[in-house]
Amino acid sequence: MIGFDYGTSNCAIGVMQNNIPNLLNLGSHGRYISSTLYSPSREVIVNWLNKQLSAAEQVHFQQQRRWQLQKGQSVLRELALDGIPTELSFGQDALSAYLEEPDEGYYIKSPKSFLGASSLLPQQIELFEDIVAAMMSNIKRLAENELQREITQTVIGRPVNFQGIKGEESNAQAIKVLTNAAKRVGFKDIEFQYEPVAAGFEFESSLDKETKVLVVDIGGGTTDCSMILMDPKFSNDTDRTKHLLAHTGQRIGGNDFDIGLALKGIMPALGMDSFLKTGKPMPVNSYWQAVAINNINEQTAFYSQQNSRFLQQLCRDAKQPEIVARLLKVQQEKLSYQIVNNAEQAKIALSDHMEQQIDLNHIENQLNVTVDRELFLSSNQRQLTGITQLMQEAVKQAGSQPDVVFVTGGTAKSPVLNQFLKTQFKNIKLVTGDHFGSVTAGLTRWAELIYR
């Protein structure tokens, strides 16, 4: 039995050892594997997945995906003739493969961000199900290699809300995708737990008395808050309903902070704040679409032929066409993920430095920009306001103030964000947990409790 944090930024697996959650090493990835996948072609993901399934599951899968498997087999033959490797890559290996040739193959980061998206077509939902199953299959295999035994029972973390719109409908869609994928790769017993509640269970193990705790989990894709009544004597209760006082959540996370920094810190170097020959300001919609990597519709629009023609015309109409041509290159060479990755790395560096230079040589030789903590803060005011509202709403729902605010999630590691949170609760103790491991550890404790 395992706790499985299928995260937006990273994935991790935990097992209980000597009554303590232990995060497993996942091969060369270590304890955390980035939530990324690279395939030489989108069409062959289904074929790779089919090879990983049990014989019994293959029968059902081949019936459901007959057309996709046939199409993928044709693409595999073409790739083989061209001497192109046909295996999928995951984690850092996937990012490296994408960065080597951004305009080739199929790269996806944080597929969890898309699972609750509205207006997805049935074939899009099937694709995401196959992507999630492929990632789960890879992680499950790595974990089983580490444990030297089969894993069949899991508790998977989930945000309070996968999307900001069509709440329960979006949540149901996302849970169905995750459940189908998990069953497909061999999990027999599957339960879900709110990620902030799981992080709270891990924090509860450190307490020595009854405490009302506001858990604030700022992850890669969502921010979730839970107000929980905690006490070590509750730790063996399999029904914690009466202790869960409030839940709030919205799709505000590390990806959004990266996108915000990319938009305000990088896009001006691509002409966002420049002018047309007429003296009018440059239209900014394409700049937003370029970095909106967690929005299917915006990315589809940015990489359309129609937008390619629009950007070419924009270059002709620009007062500084050589600068706007940089945006056209991003569109033609599919560099969106690379730009947002530049912003993400700068965000991480700003945890230790007041400012950071971003190298944009992949767009133009000797092109670089400098960002600092102040810009990071100003470029993400909307996200910070949203987090404030989520915390306030959780307190309001609970009808009382917390004794402690427990903060976790990779995004919360930023000192800028940490300082911001301290200003929101000036008279309440704020405790920072394991930014990356609290959720996994709590899911592992819950799995041990409900499956034992």
More confident residue, 415 or 289: 289
DSSP helix/strand/coil, 107? strand
pLDDT of residue 393: 96
pLDDT of residue 166: 61
Tell me which residue of 38, 36, 37 sits closest to 9, measured CA to CA.
36
pLDDT of residue 417: 87
* Structure token digits, residue 295: 């929005």
Which is it for the CA torsion 140, 187, 52, 67, positive or negative? negative
Structural domains in the chain? Answer: 2-187 (3.30.420.40), 209-432 (3.30.420.40)
pLDDT of residue 410: 83
Tell me which residue of 252, 277, 285, 173 sits closest to 417, measured CA to CA.
252
Residue-wise pLDDT for 33-60, tens only, equals: 999 999 999 999 999 999 999 999 999 9
Q: How far apart are CA 238 and CA 450, in angstroms?
A: 6
Residue-wise pLDDT for 438-451, tens only, equals: 999 999 999 999 99
Considering the chain, what is the average pLDDT of its residues? Answer: 94
pLDDT higher than 90, residue 418: no
State the average pLDDT over residues 329-335: 96
Say what percent of the chain tops pLDDT 70.
Answer: 99
Given the structure tokens 């041990």, which residue do they identify?
448
Q: How far apart are CA 311 and CA 329, in angstroms?
A: 10
pLDDT higher than 70, residue 361: yes
Bridge-based pairing of strands 20-23 and 33-34 is unpaired
Given the structure tokens 């309070």, which residue do they identify?
160
CA neighbours within 13 Å on the CB side: how many for 295?
16
In terms of pTM, does the model score above 0.85?
A: yes
Scored b (16 or more CB within 10 A) or e, 258-276 reads bbbbbbbbbbebbbbeeee
Where is average pLDDT lowest: 73-77, 118-122, 336-340, 447-451?
118-122
Residue-wise pLDDT for 237-267, tens only, equals: 999 999 999 999 999 999 999 999 999 999 9
State the average pLDDT over residues 208-225: 94
pLDDT of residue 296: 86
Residue 164: band (very low, low, confident or very high) from pLDDT cuts 50, 70, 90: low
189: enclosing H helix or E strand: strand 189-194
Do 339 and 405 form a contact (C-beta atoms < 8 A)? no
CA angle at 253 for the pair 361 and 393, rounded to the nearest 5°: 155
Where is average pLDDT lowest: 145-149, 160-164, 257-261, 323-327?
160-164
* Structure token digits, residue 300: 């589809």
Residue-wise pLDDT for 369-401, tens only, equals: 999 999 999 999 999 999 999 999 999 999 999
Residue-wise pLDDT for 141-158, tens only, equals: 999 999 999 999 999 999
Bridge-based pairing of strands 189-194 and 153-158 is parallel
Q: What are the backbone dihedrals phi and psi of residue 206, each rounded to the nearest 5 degrees, phi first?
A: -95, -5
pLDDT higher than 70, residue 321: yes
pLDDT higher than 90, residue 167: no
